[in-house]
Chain A
């Protein structure tokens, strides 16, 4: 979308009627361009508007490279990721850049009892397609598969950061090839659930 606009109107020596068309175009373009990401004006021909001037969302048209930040100044912007070359959100200040989109997927789930079957109870997750269990002896192999959003990047070891914590004692043992396989995870025991938290990171 493009909004037409005429600078320098009204001209100094024009009759108002000379510039009326351009001024009307400007008038409408101003209202329309504010409306893209913001709550715009309440037009006399339109509905009641509440919250004029606030954002609806922030749409980034491109990546950027902010410079010359000092003191308390800061910028929220996007830059390309390293492994997956798409825009990622960033927040930069005078000292450094914070990468806001590092966490790509997340899940917290409870393992069943060793005799209770092989279905985890997923309490909360994001960008996770599935969590599957395989009981081997007295422990579980847990396979966590992220959604295709992550799959279509070459996420093979060690391109994905993996953080795993469990509520029962466990020394992490995993491999990651397209999905996360966590090995020898102790099951829940009566009165003591084993709750697993998994975070996948990538820049």
Chain B
């Protein structure tokens, strides 16, 4: 989508009728341009955002002082897809570091009480649990994984191809798993 816009009008010596078509186009383009990501004219809360859309990767230079910038750029594990970063004068922070997360109780018929980007199915075999991250979330087989259980637990896991196996989880523990990757 693009919006036509004419600079330098009305021209200094032009009859207004000469510039009228281009001025009208500008009038309408301004309104349409604002409407892309913002609440536009004649609407409540005009000027606020609906979304913040990014057309591709960005590479902002380092801000100074109290300036900062949030932007998309290539990931490290997958350089073809955007990740979301925040840059200030001193550092770049990866905002989209957490890729998936879930909480469940280690018991018969386990299911998530709260999760993102996890397949809903958890399988139990003895005190071992198999969890699956949805496809296209993790690249490769080396995401960061943090596991905490509410009952005493020496964390013991294996991960391969989106599948996390937790071994010897104490029964009736609340278990939290978090996957990290940038």
Tell yes or no: B45 within 8 A of A by CB. Answer: yes
Tell yes or no: B16 within 8 A of A by CB. Answer: yes
Tell yes or no: B123 within 8 A of A by CB. Answer: no
Report yes or no: A162 in contact with B72, Cβ–Cβ below 8 A. no
Report yes or no: A36 in contact with B136, Cβ–Cβ below 8 A. no
Tell yes or no: B128 within 8 A of A by CB. Answer: no
- Residue in contact with A33 in the complex, picked from B47, B53, B149, CB distance below 8 Å: B47
Instruction: Choose, from A55-63, A114-122, A133-141, A144-152, the stretch at the interface.
Output: A55-63
Report yes or no: A72 in contact with B31, Cβ–Cβ below 8 A. no
A81 to chain B, nearest CB (A): 9
Which residues of chain A have C-beta atoms less than 8 A from B44's C-beta?
Answer: 1-2
Report yes or no: A159 in contact with B70, Cβ–Cβ below 8 A. no
- Of all chain A residues, the one with the shortest Cβ separation from B17 is A12
Report yes or no: B49 in contact with A60, Cβ–Cβ below 8 A. yes
- Residue in contact with A30 in the complex, picked from B24, B30, B146, CB distance below 8 Å: B30
Instruction: Choose, from A105-113, A123-131, A171-179, A187-195, the stretch at the interface.
Output: A171-179
Interface mask (A30-56 → B, CB under 8 Å = 1, otherwise 0):
101111110000000000000100100
B74 to chain A, nearest CB (A): 8
Size class of the B contact interface (CB-based, 8 Å): 35 or more
Tell yes or no: A86 within 8 A of B by CB. Answer: no
Report yes or no: A75 in contact with B54, Cβ–Cβ below 8 A. yes
Report yes or no: A171 in contact with B114, Cβ–Cβ below 8 A. no
A160 to chain B, nearest CB (A): 7
Tell yes or no: A85 within 8 A of B by CB. Answer: no
Report yes or no: B53 in contact with A73, Cβ–Cβ below 8 A. yes
Which residues of chain A have C-beta atoms less than 8 A from B122's C-beta?
Answer: none
Report yes or no: A201 in contact with B24, Cβ–Cβ below 8 A. no
A66→B72 CA distance, assembly (Å): 16
Which residues of chain B have C-beta atoms less than 8 A from A162's C-beta?
Answer: 148, 150, 174, 176
Tell yes or no: B91 within 8 A of A by CB. Answer: no
Which residues 1-44 of A have a CB within 8 angstroms of B? 1-12, 16, 23, 26, 29-30, 32-37
B93 to chain A, nearest CB (A): 11
Which residues of chain B have C-beta atoms less than 8 A from A75's C-beta?
Answer: 51-54
Report yes or no: A96 in contact with B134, Cβ–Cβ below 8 A. yes
Tell yes or no: B120 within 8 A of A by CB. Answer: no
Which residues of chain A have C-beta atoms less than 8 A from B50's C-beta?
Answer: 60-62, 64, 77
Report yes or no: A72 in contact with B81, Cβ–Cβ below 8 A. yes
A71→B149 CA distance, assembly (Å): 38
Knowing A74-B54, A76-B54 are in contact, say whether A3-B46 is a contact too (CB < 8 A).
yes
- Residue in contact with A76 in the complex, picked from B43, B52, B151, CB distance below 8 Å: B52
Which residues 35-68 of B have a CB within 8 angstroms of A? 38-57, 67
Tell yes or no: B82 within 8 A of A by CB. Answer: yes
Report yes or no: B150 in contact with A173, Cβ–Cβ below 8 A. yes
List the 3 closest A-B pairs by CB distance, nearest first: A36-B47, A5-B41, A98-B96
Binding site for A on B (CB under 8 A): 16, 20-21, 23-24, 27-28, 30-31, 34, 38-57, 67, 70, 72, 80-84, 95-96, 98-99, 101-105, 113-117, 134, 136-137, 146, 148-154, 174, 176, 178
Q: List 21 A-B contacts (CB under 8 A).
A: A2-B42, A7-B28, A26-B30, A33-B41, A35-B47, A36-B47, A37-B47, A37-B48, A71-B56, A72-B57, A73-B82, A93-B72, A94-B81, A95-B81, A99-B98, A99-B101, A158-B114, A160-B103, A161-B114, A201-B101, A203-B101
